[in-house]
């Protein structure tokens, strides 16, 4: 029986979002750990989760990566990789004092926000950083200019903002936020601070925007949207919120296919599937297989953008790989 015949018989289908899954920054970060393990041998220490995905972390642990919370847990002189979310300058200093070989896997799009923070702080601006309190990326960016940066955690945080000079204020943002919520936050800030400046280019990363855009496209047609991603992944959590805001009747976040509750699929005819920017596609394929076993065999991929961006490996690692290749 063909997929079309199956659909006409069961009335069940899957709308598969594209783009989904790995972005260029995540791909680079995971590759950095894998190449470091091959080049230097295990163990390789990684400060914080390299990316916010349970499966990725478990896979790298099995290969010899050791994830730690702080540099103090890394033996003196060992190799440590900083995660894709970025770190504050003091973390580099701590690594130097412990003679650690530090490899920086910070996403270049996060590094861009750090550079903006340093530049505006040097020009004595008040910087309003839109983001989620406690998120590693926010901690790292705020650490670039703590005396100049104050956090605005969504539209409800706007009323707490105080600035020295309303003529010298700029907003920056965490790269993995909801596009719509960030625009709402900025609009409310501008009501209070009409001369508020914007960053030179959008801080929310292309991958976050693209994944939210395609979910908005499919959500109105979906009885339920399943987002593959971990609960500590900001961009994955946002995808569930975006799906619900855009008209999906229900939305759920799962790390693995076995977490899907059959009750979610009762009376459902159309299921949307996507994944956060730190999710390998094998996990999505397992979800599709799980759904097919329950009658959702017809899969239509909905594409709203084609992503071709790639980032090269960190300079420190590239230099050592080149030296190793020269030695043969």
Strands 251-254 and 65-68: unpaired
Q: Are 41 and 78 in contact (CB under 8 A)?
A: no
Q: Are 192 and 150 in contact (CB under 8 A)?
A: no
Predicted confidence band at 9 (pLDDT cuts at 50, 70, 90)?
Answer: low
Known binder of ligand: residue 52? yes
In whole angstroms, how far apart are CA 90 and each of 17, 97, 140?
Answer: 40, 11, 9
pLDDT of residue 328: 77
Any alpha helices (H) in the chain, and if so which ranges?
Answer: 3-10, 24-40, 54-63, 89-97, 108-122, 136-142, 179-192, 206-218, 234-245, 262-265, 281-292, 315-327
pLDDT tens for each residue of 158-176 = 999 999 999 999 999 999 9
Which tokens sit at 145?
Answer: 């200019």
Task: Indicate whether this model's pTM tops 0.85.
Answer: yes
Q: Is the dihedral of CA 89, 95, 98, 99 positive or negative?
A: negative
Known binder of ligand: residue 198? no
Known binder of ligand: residue 222? no
pLDDT of residue 281: 97
pLDDT tens for each residue of 247-305 = 999 999 999 999 999 999 999 999 999 999 999 999 999 999 999 999 999 999 999 99
Which tokens sit at 244?
Answer: 């619900």
Q: 85 CB contacts (<8 Å, ≥6 apart)?
A: 48, 52, 106, 107, 110, 135, 136, 137, 140
Known binder of ligand: residue 234? yes
Known binder of ligand: residue 306? no
Residue 213 CA to residue 301 CA, distance in Å, equals 14
pLDDT tens for each residue of 196-230 = 999 999 899 999 999 999 999 999 999 999 999 99
Q: Are 113 and 141 in contact (CB under 8 A)?
A: yes
- Catalytically active residues are 137
């Amino acid at each position: 029986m063909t997929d079309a015949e199956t659909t006409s018989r069961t009335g069940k289908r899957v709308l598969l979002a594209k783009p989904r899954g790995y972005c260029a920054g995540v791909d680079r970060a995971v590759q950095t750990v894998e190449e470091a393990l091959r080049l230097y041998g295990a163990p390789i220490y990684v400060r914080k989760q390299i990316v916010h995905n349970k499966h990725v972390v478990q896979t790298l642990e099995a290969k010899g990566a050791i994830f730690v919370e702080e540099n103090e847990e890394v033996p003196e002189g060992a190799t440590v990789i900083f995660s894709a979310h970025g770190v504050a300058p003091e973390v580099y200093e701590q690594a130097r004092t412990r003679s650690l070989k530090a490899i920086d896997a910070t996403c270049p799009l996060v590094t861009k926000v750090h550079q903006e923070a340093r530049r505006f702080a040097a020009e004595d601006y008040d910087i309003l950083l839109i983001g989620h309190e406690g998120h590693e990326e926010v901690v790292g960016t705020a650490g670039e200019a703590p005396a100049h940066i104050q956090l605005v955690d969504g539209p409800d945080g706007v009323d707490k903002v105080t600035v020295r000079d309303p003529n010298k204020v700029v907003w920056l943002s965490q790269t993995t936020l909801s596009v719509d919520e960030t625009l709402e936050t900025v609009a409310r800030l501008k009501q209070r601070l009409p001369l508020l400046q914007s960053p030179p280019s959008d801080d929310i990363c292309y991958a976050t925007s693209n994944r939210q855009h395609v979910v908005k496209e499919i959500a109105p047609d979906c009885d339920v949207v399943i987002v593959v991603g971990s609960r500590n992944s900001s961009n994955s959590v946002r995808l569930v919120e975006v799906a619900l805001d855009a008209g999906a009747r229900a939305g759920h976040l799962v790390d693995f296919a076995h977490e899907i509750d059959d009750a979610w699929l009762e009376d459902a005819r159309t299921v949307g599937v996507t994944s956060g920017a730190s999710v390998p596609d094998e996990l999505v394929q397992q979800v599709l297989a799980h759904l097919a076993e329950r009658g959702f065999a017809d899969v239509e991929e909905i594409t709203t953008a084609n992503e071709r961006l790639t980032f090269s490996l960190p300079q420190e690692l590239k230099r050592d790989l080149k030296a190793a290749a020269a030695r043969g």
